[in-house]
Chains A and B, each alone.
Chain A
Amino acid sequence: MRNKYVGKSYPRVDAYEKVTGTATYVTDMFFPGMLYAAVLRSPYPHAKIKKLDVSKARELEGVRAVVTAEDSPYRQGIYLVDRPIFATDRVRYVGEPVAAVAADSWEIAQKALELIEVEYEPLPAVFDPREAMKGEVLIHPDLANYERMPIYNIEPEKNVFHHHKTRKGDIEKGFEEADYIIEGEYYLPQIYHAPLEPHGAIAYYGFDGNLTVWSSAQSPFTLRNLIAHAFKIPRHKVRVIAPYVGGGFGGKAGINMEGIVVALALKVPGKHIKLIYTREEDIMATVVRQGMYAKVKAGVKKDGTIVAWQEEMIFDGGAYAEYGTNVVRAAGYTTPGPYYVPNLKVDSYGVYTNHFVGGAFRGFGHGELHWAVERHMDKIAQELGMDPLELRMKNLLKPGLTNAMGQKIHEHTGDVEACLKKAAELIEYGKKPEQPKDPKKRRGKGIAALVKAPAMPTNAASSVVIKFHEDATVTLQVSIQEIGQGFNTAITQMAADALHIPAEKIKVVFPIDTDANPYEWQTVASRALWTVGNALYRAAEDALNQIKNIASQVLGVAPYNLEVEDDRVYIKYDPETYIPLTDIVMGYTYPDGHAIGGPVIGRGSFVPERLTNLDPETGQGNVAAEWTFGAEAAEVEVDMETGEVKVLKLVGVFDAGRVVNPMVATGQIIGGMVQGMGPALFEQIKYDEKGNPITISFTDYKLPTIADIPEEMIADFVETYEATSAFGVRGIAEHPMISVPPAIAAAIYDAIGVNLNEMPFTPEKILRALKEKENK
């Protein structure tokens, strides 16, 4: 493989479309005669549907279809099939779809909704997962009968959709060895992804029985799979086309609202049906990040060595499990993050409540687990009177040690120590911040580490097809979605190096079309360059071998004596002798007209090597393919009169393996850190005391604006090449969001000496904590 493009800040290949407004998103697509859909939603967090009458809506002129659970009695779910497309006997959250309409115009569809008659009988609801575990209110009485992947461990009488257990070493012995037992409790609420593009989909069901769905989807193939499974349609008759996604962050993975348009399309063959969620619908009725309550008990030696770690994480999974099952599992098997602890007992529970549906969110359980772990590390440091960075350094997961599931850490796994050192250097850790003149304002610094592996099934596969064209240009077919992360750019660079041709001669086929593209599991888990890179390497080898085999016949030279470079294939020991690629890639034609070879099409597949499921009782096994370590640091200023926190500086350092595109990777880190700052300071889905959501628009659910960002943000890398990647790469996409909140919390402690153990750190909580400190 040559080394010409990887490592350079190659300009983004989607740049022109995006800066000119010509990049197409689902919402920008229009078809002749297209119908518009609208959805009737539950106003109750938990209620029985006593009566549902859509007859008047059906009679309205311009209405083409009205569907309810009666017409479309299907359930969906990626790991646990628990989510009906339309509520059946009961509704389980505010915003749950009850019926949908397709009409000639959006307005007619809206009018039809007002004609649907529903009678509800409110049921007792439960909003705190700890309460829900008592089982007094059962949200899914049929849970035991739902179809599910066997690796998930349900406890139906406790509303638990997954209970993960880690048992490593001897926890009791660990506590006996400890000099101190330090306990803590930590909480974070549900938060919302807030991609700027709300979810949207268009469905078309042909009279020939073929279904096409255009969707703002992170996972076109998994979406196809889940639609086919839910509606019982053969895979080859379901086609998903996924144009640009205007931000996903996990929220557009799997299946979301596509089932609604599909149900309508099946009723109106021959018509395109479009449904674009409003911002309000997007907040209420897609997925959010789960809330979490954590209880930690750590056993620590006088010198700071942690010898035992016991933790219980209770996730507020909302009304349906979605990806939450696996979020709970990933958080369970990764705790206690980047630290080595010989004796571990971790229980992670995913619990149904009558809140919005919890699902995948950038970080996938790791923002949650590190919130508890990193806060608790600070608490330990405080109680021991030790520097928090020193405590961390002492307990790092280093080569030779084993992580929570018993996997051995190697030199090539990554270097968390180097990340922490670099982050400490960049934040000038240890150097006291310059304090403002106003004595009511105080500054401080904090640091936190992190680790994350892709959370995925052991067989999550990728494939790549490389097609050469007459002029020796190439199209690359790969089904990772371009959601803003820059995948199409990075993979172009990697393909150019793998094929030894100029990057300008390569185009990534877009949009993704499951009828034409090769299989890809999903665009999630920060695994794309790693997994697709491996498939690409094989596809490139395949294509190059085909080229060399043809050239070998023509030149009478063994294939291993040939090399491809830019526009030609030449003899290694006689570079002046070559054949232009244009004469080879469609097959070679001799002067007399007879031809050999044929069009060069390279194919490559990859499935992670040597992964196994975890033991259900101990959580030991080999489920993580590669780990990315990182460290983040913050400097803040706190106004002790108002409780306002201003983040002055953020630093993120990640062991990315080989960095493919520094410009794009830096962009990911900066963006991820700001996305981590939002929930640290103010983002939160709020409900009133009756469980009604009160933050369902951008007026009430606030995101960081350009006025909120720190003046200074620095991204940096450690590059320990990843041995399981043909390109030496590993993921960094989710990681920058993970440890920003604990770093900010640590900085607040450094500034004003109070611990914030509940996100977000609103001014009110800061003041309350200051008062508690005074009263002590």
Chain B
Amino acid sequence: MIAFDFAYHKPTSLQEAFELLSEEGAIPIMGSTDVVVKMRARRLRPKAVVDLKFIDELKFFKFNPEEGMVFGSAVTMNELIEDHPEVKEHYPVFYQAIKKVGAYQTRNRATVAGNIGNSSPAADSVPPLLTYNAKLKIVSKEGERIVELKDFFTGPGKNVLKQGEIIHSIIVPYEGKSIGMYYKLSRIKAVDLSTIGVALTVIDPEGKRDIRIALASVAPTPLRVFEAEDFIRSKELTKENVEEFAKIVQKNTSPITDARGTKEYRYEMAYVLPIKILREIGLYKEVN
């Protein structure tokens, strides 16, 4: 039970949703797994919630090597995990990460768009999407725009969405085979927020070996570390280079202390985990 009154709307078309969202105090909701929690705690007091999950246009999924993967904002995480084998096959790091979001029950409701829209620095789905150069199609009464995911977040719980705008779909380019790992450190082994999450994706591992890295829970927003990627590009994965790579990752972080962990531990893990992942995926053999 939520302690205050608000209106609930269930539009079935985008046009209808735009109208409803133009009202002051109206917010879009999708799986409501974050929103209900916040409303219950009175951290969020909307006048109206506009439930977008009944809009058919937002429920699609497609994949082809040219356009990559595109899916609507109403697609749930479990649908991506269970109904679309392309996710696991072509975006393994993203697949690993969304499997680590909440509980099975949560993933039947939660959407990637919701995870992005909630804009928590701890969002597990985001770091891998950053490494895959994901983009968002954002729509409103005024039209549509494409925003690079890396440009979307502006702070904890903050993003570039304006009143009346909604995330329509997530576009993830296909750049060839990828391997990698989403390493989530958390207090317990399941159903926890990350103390730190590191997505390391290697595009075309046998060819150009493009290493990309993004992190959760180490900065005010999910963080992709281009500087480290630039450093390691076309360099051999020697002890020296890998350690320097990890150092660059680490120095780009600005973690804080909270109930899940201290800034010191997060900072240390921002160095340790990139090396550990490179070793675990078999690209780096050295053991210190």
Interface on A for B, CB 8 Å cutoff? 106-107, 110-111, 439-440, 641-644, 682, 686, 694-695, 699-700, 702-708, 762-764, 767
Contacts and interface: CB of A to CB of B under 8 A. Distances in A.
B146 interface: no
A694 B258 CA distance: 8
Given A682-B187, A695-B259, A764-B262, 15 more contacts: A106-B1, A107-B3, A642-B185, A642-B269, A682-B188, A700-B260, A702-B192, A703-B188, A704-B188, A706-B190, A707-B188, A762-B187, A763-B185, A764-B261, A767-B268
A556 B260 CA distance: 77
B67 interface: no
A439 B1 CA distance: 51
Contacts of A695: 259
A642 B265 CA distance: 9
13 contacts: A106-B1, A642-B272, A694-B258, A695-B259, A699-B37, A700-B259, A700-B260, A705-B190, A707-B190, A708-B188, A762-B261, A763-B265, A764-B261
Given A107-B1, A440-B287, A702 B262 contact: no
Nearest to A699: B193
B216 to A, nearest CB: 15
B123 to A, nearest CB: 14
A94 B260 CA distance: 21
A686 B260 CA distance: 10
B9 interface: no
A641 B272 contact: yes
Looking at B188, B261, B262, B276, the one whose CB has the most chain A CB atoms below 10 A away is B188
A644 B287 contact: no
Interface residues of B, number: 24
A762 B188 CA distance: 10
B121 to A, nearest CB: 15
A518 to B, nearest CB: 39
Contacts of A705: 188-191
A330 to B, nearest CB: 30
A724 B287 CA distance: 60
B227 interface: no
Nearest to B276: A641
Interface string B253-286: 0000011111011001100110010000000000
B252 to A, nearest CB: 20
Contacts of B192: 702
B187 A707 contact: no
B183 to A, nearest CB: 9
A656 B268 CA distance: 47
Given A702-B192, A708-B189, A439 B287 contact: yes
Interface in B34-87: 37
Contacts of A700: 259-260
A762 B266 CA distance: 13
A74 to B, nearest CB: 28
A644 B192 CA distance: 15
Contact of A642 (B258, B260, B262, B273): B273
B259 A644 contact: no
Nearest to B3: A110
Contact of A767 (B189, B193, B265, B273): B265
A29 B37 CA distance: 25
Looking at B185, B268, B273, the one whose CB has the most chain A CB atoms below 10 A away is B268
B190 A708 contact: yes
B249 to A, nearest CB: 15
A311 to B, nearest CB: 31
Nearest to A113: B3
Nearest to B196: A642
A31 B100 CA distance: 42
Interface in B239-258: 258
B27 to A, nearest CB: 21
B259 A694 contact: yes
A767 B192 CA distance: 21
A642 B3 contact: no
Contacts of A706: 190
A700 B41 CA distance: 14
Contacts of A644: 185
Contacts of B37: 699
A708 B3 CA distance: 35
Looking at B191, B193, B262, B264, the one whose CB has the most chain A CB atoms below 10 A away is B191
A647 B265 CA distance: 21
A704 B188 CA distance: 7
Contacts of B264: 764
A762 B186 CA distance: 10
A186 B106 CA distance: 39
A212 B193 CA distance: 43
A643 B186 CA distance: 11
B268 A702 contact: no
A642 B272 CA distance: 7
A642 B279 CA distance: 14
Q: Which 10 A-B pairs have the closest CB atoms?
A: A707-B190, A707-B189, A110-B3, A764-B265, A700-B259, A682-B187, A694-B259, A702-B188, A702-B187, A708-B189
